[in-house]
C-alpha cells in the first residue's frame, strides 16, 4: 500500500515554474520536484511544510525547473535525479542561457534515470515515465494517482517542441502512446499553471485528440 502523502506547490522565478513539495504523511520524508529558482523561498516552504527531502527530482533540464537545484542540494543534502539524456543540460557550465535570458547555475546529477525506473523515497515508490518531445530527456514522475508532468502536459496545452532537443514527432507519440493511456482519474501537476486530470485533458486538450 502506498503511504499517504501531501503535495504543496511553490511558484518560483520569472517564468513562474511550479516547484512541488511532496511529503509522506507518516514519516515527513519526501521530495522536491523542479526547484526552478528562488532557493530561499523554497527552503522556507520546506521548513513550514515540515518536509525532510531525500531527493530533488527534475522533470527535465531547463533552467526554469533546475536553477535552484544546486543550492538546495547543498543545503538539504539531498540527491539530484534527472533522466540521463537531460543530465548534461543540468551539469552544463555556468553561463548566460540564450533561451531564457537567465544565468544558468550548473548542478551535479547524482542519479540518472531511465524509463521504467522506480525510485524509493521514504517507503513510497515513484515511477519514471520517459516522455520526450519538449526535451530529449523529459520525464513524468508517477506517485500514487498523481502525475508530475513537467513541461510535457499543461492544462489545455503542451510544452514547446521548437527548442533544442525538442521534437514534435516525439511529443505526438509521447501524448498518444503514453499520456493518453493513463487512467482518466490520474491527477496532473504540471510544470506551469493549474493542476488538471488525464480525463479532463483527454476531453478538452486539443493536443490529446487523435487528429492532431
Ligand atoms: Zn522546459
Ligand atoms: Zn518550464
Does pLDDT of 7 surpass 80?
A: yes
Cα–ligand 1 centroid distance for 36 (angstroms): 10
Residues in the chain, overall count: 212
What's the pTM? 0.95
pLDDT (0 to 100) of residue 78: 97
pLDDT in tens, 83-98: 999 999 999 876 666 6
Q: How far apart are the first and last CA of the chain?
A: 38
**pLDDT per residue as tens digits for the range 93-125:** 766 666 777 788 899 999 999 999 999 987 789
Q: What distance in Å separates the CA atoms of residue 21 and residue 189, rounded to the nearest whole number?
A: 11
- When pLDDT is averaged across residues 57-65 and rounded to a whole number, the result is 96
Rounded distance from Cα 151 to ligand 1 centre (Å): 5
C-alpha cell at 81: 535525479
The number of the ligand nearest the C-alpha atom of 192 reads 2
Nearest ligand to the C-alpha atom of residue 15? 2
Higher-confidence residue: 206 or 98?
206
Cβ contacts of residue 32 below 8 Å, gap of 6+?
19, 20, 21, 22, 42, 46, 51, 53, 55, 56, 57, 72, 76, 78
CA of 83 to the centre of ligand 2 (A): 16
Q: DSSP assignment, residue 111?
A: E
Q: Which ligand is nearest to the CA of 163?
A: 1
Q: How far apart are CA 85 and CA 69, in angstroms?
A: 17
The environment of the single-atom ion ligand 1, i.e. residues with CB closer than 5 A, is 62, 151
Amino acid at each position: 500500500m502506498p503511504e499517504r502523502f501531501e503535495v504543496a506547490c511553490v511558484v518560483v522565478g520569472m517564468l513562474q515554474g511550479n516547484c512541488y513539495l511532496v511529503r509522506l504523511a507518516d514519516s515527513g520524508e519526501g521530495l522536491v520536484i523542479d526547484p526552478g529558482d528562488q532557493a530561499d523561498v523554497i527552503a522556507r516552504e520546506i521548513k513550514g511544510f515540515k518536509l525532510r527531502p531525500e531527493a530533488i527530482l527534475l522533470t527535465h533540464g531547463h533552467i526554469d525547473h533546475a536553477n535552484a537545484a544546486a543550492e538546495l542540494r547543498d543545503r538539504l543534502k539531498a540527491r539530484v535525479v534527472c533522466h540521463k539524456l537531460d543530465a548534461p543540460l543540468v551539469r552544463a557550465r555556468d553561463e548566460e542561457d540564450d533561451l531564457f535570458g537567465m544565468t544558468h547555475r550548473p548542478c551535479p546529477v547524482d542519479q540518472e534515470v531511465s524509463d521504467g525506473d522506480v525510485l524509493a523515497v521514504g517507503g513510497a515508490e515513484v515511477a519514471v515515465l520517459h516522455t520526450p518531445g519538449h526535451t530529449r530527456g523529459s520525464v513524468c514522475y508517477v506517485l500514487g494517482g498523481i502525475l508530475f508532468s513537467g513541461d510535457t502536459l499543461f492544462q489545455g496545452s503542451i510544452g514547446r517542441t521548437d527548442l533544442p532537443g525538442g521534437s514534435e514527432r516525439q511529443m505526438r507519440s509521447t501524448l498518444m502512446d503514453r499520456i493518453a493511456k493513463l487512467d482518466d482519474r490520474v491527477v496532473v501537476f504540471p510544470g506551469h499553471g493549474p493542476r488538471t486530470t488525464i480525463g479532463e485533458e483527454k476531453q478538452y486538450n486539443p493536443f490529446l485528440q487523435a487528429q492532431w
